[in-house]
Amino acid sequence: MHGMPTPEICNRARIAHDPRFDGLFFIAVRSTGIYCRPVCPAPTAKRENVVFYPTAAAAVAMGYRPCLRCRPELSPEAFARIGEETVQRALGLIAEGALQDGSVEQLAERVGVCSRQLRRLFVARTGATPIVVHTTRRMLLAKQLLTETSLPVTQVALAAGFNSLRRFNAAFREGCGMPPTAIRRQRAEAPGGALTLRLGYRPPLDFPAMLAFLSKRALPGIERVTDSSYERIVGPAEAPTLIHVSADAAKPELLLRIEGPDPRVIPDIVRRVRRIFDLDADLRAVHAVLRSEPLLAQAIKKRPGLRVPGGWDGFELAVRAVLGQQVSVAGATTLARRLVDAYGEPCKGGQPGLDRVFPQPERLIGAPLELLGLPKSRATTLRSLARAMADGRIDFGAGQRLDDFVERFTALPGIGPWTAQYVAMRALSQPDAFPAGDLVLQQVLGGATSGDGLRLTERATAARAEAWRPWRAYAVLQLWHLAGDHAVAKTEQRKKARVVR
C-alpha cells in the first residue's frame, strides 16, 4: 500500500517497539487473529505468522480484531502519507461524520469522483473501503470509551453513532470479538468517574512550545492556557462542555478530560483537540523534506517536536486572523477580547474565566464593530465574512482543496492571500499552506540569503519554499520560531551593550 514502510522496515520497527512508527502500519498475527500497534508489549510473534497492513481498517477488512494490550484505538492516524488528494479529502470528510448519515455515493460526489472510483482508490491507498474505514473509526472510539470512562454502554453507543443498542452490541461483537460488557469488566475504575481519554501521537511533540503559542492568543472567557495545560469551554451556551488537555509525562500521549458532554459530541471534541495539537503529524516525513534547506535543518535541530497549532473553530480563527491584520499578536488578542465581551454568548453554569462561547456568524452580520476600535474597512470585512459563513458561500470543513479555499476566501472584501493561507494552515490543517506575504518569513529568509538583513519579495519567498512541498506549513512554524530566537538574541546583545557603556 502507498506510503507504508517496506516489510523489512516494518519488521525491524516491531521488534524494536519503535514509537516513531506508531500508526504508520499495523501488525496482524495469523495465529491469534489479532492486530496490534508496533509498540505492542506482547511477546513478539514469529515473522512467518505476521502480516503488515497500512491502516487499522485494512486489518479489520481481513477479519482481524484489535489487541486488548496495545489498544490500536490509541494509535495516531497517518493518512497524510497516503499522497492521494481525493482519498485524503474523503478521509477528512469521514472524520467529520460524512458517512454517519450520508452514503458513499454522496461522499464521492463531494470529492468529485464516482462511487466506484472512490472505493477503488480507498482499497488501493488504505487497504479498505470507505465504509470499513468509517466503521473501524466508530468501533475503536467505542472501545476506548468502554476502556477508559464510566459512560454507560447506551451512551457509548450514542457516541459511536448508534441509535440502537442492539445494533451497537452486534457490531461491536463482530468487530472486536466480544460484547461491550466484556471490555467494560476489564476497565479499572477512574478516580471520581471523570471522563478522561488518552490521545496518542508519534514523538517528538514540543508540548510547551505549543502551549506558549496558544497562550499568546488565548481569549479570556473562552480558553485558559498554563505552562502545563490547555482549557476551553465549548458550546452550545445553554449546555456547555469544558475540556482540559495536559501531557502524560511517561507516554507519548495527551490526556483529554471532558466535563459535561453530550456523548454524541465526543467524536467531534476528540477530532478538534487532535487538530489543535497536530497529533497525527508524521514529523519523520516532514523533516526528511525540510532538512534539505540548511536554515530549516538548523531550526529542526533546535526544535524537533514543533508542530502546526490548529484552531478549535474555523470561523473563530478566521475572525481572529482578520483582527490581526497589520497589528501585533497582542493587539489582535485585545481586539478579539473586546469582540467576545460584546457579542460572545454567556454560558449557563460557566465558571470564572471560562464562561462564554465565541459569537456565531449571525451575531456579527449587522454588528457596529467600529465601536470596538476597529477601522471601518476591517469591520466591513468581518461583517462580510460573517454573512458569507451564514449563507454558505464559505465554510471551514474538511475535504477542500487548498487552492479552491484560497480562491473563495480571497473573493471576500479585505481578505488577501496572507489571511487565506494562514487560516488554511490553522483552521483546515492544510500542511502545504504558505503565507508567502508574511513579513517575518521574508525577513528571516532574506537575512539567511543575503546576510545584509534585506527581506525577500513575496515572489522570491514563494519560490524559495517550492522545495518544501508538501510540508510548507511546518516550515512556517520553524521559521517563525527561528525569527523569535534571533529577536531575543538581539535584545540580549543590546542589554549587554548598555551595561558595558
Question: Quick check: is 438 catalytic?
Answer: yes
Q: Tally the residues of the chain.
A: 501
Q: Is 447 exposed, middle or buried (0-12, 13-18, 19+ CB in 10 A)?
A: middle
Among the options 22, 280, 282, 438, which is catalytic? 438
- Provide the 3-class DSSP secondary structure of residue 34: strand
Do residues 272 and 312 touch, judged by C-beta distance below 8 A?
Answer: yes
Is the Cβ–Cβ distance between 233 and 357 less than 8 Å? yes
Annotate 73-82 with b (16+ C-beta within 10 A) or e (fewer): bbbbbbbbbb
Q: What b/e string do you get for 84-98 counting C-beta neighbours within 10 Å, with b at 16 or more?
A: bebbbbbbbbbbebb
Between strands 34-36 and 65-66, the pairing is parallel
Helix, coil or strand: residue 501: coil
Contact 406, 437 (CB under 8 A): no
| DSSP for 174-241, written as a single string | HHHSS-HHHHHHTPPPPGGG-EEEEEE-PSP--HHHHHHHHHHT--TBTEEE-SSEEEEEES-TTS-E
The answer to whether 36 is a known catalytic residue is yes
Report whether 279 contacts 95 (CB < 8 A): no
The tally of CA atoms less than 13 A away on the side-chain side of residue 433 is: 27
Q: Which helix (H) or strand (E) holds 348?
A: strand 345-351
> Rounded CA gap, 212 and 228, in Å?
10
Name the strand (E) or helix (H) holding 350: strand 345-351
Angle between helices 294-302 and 283-290 (to 10 degrees): 140
- Among the listed residues 36, 67, 70, 347, the single catalytic one is 36
User: Which are the catalytic amino acids?
Assistant: 36, 438
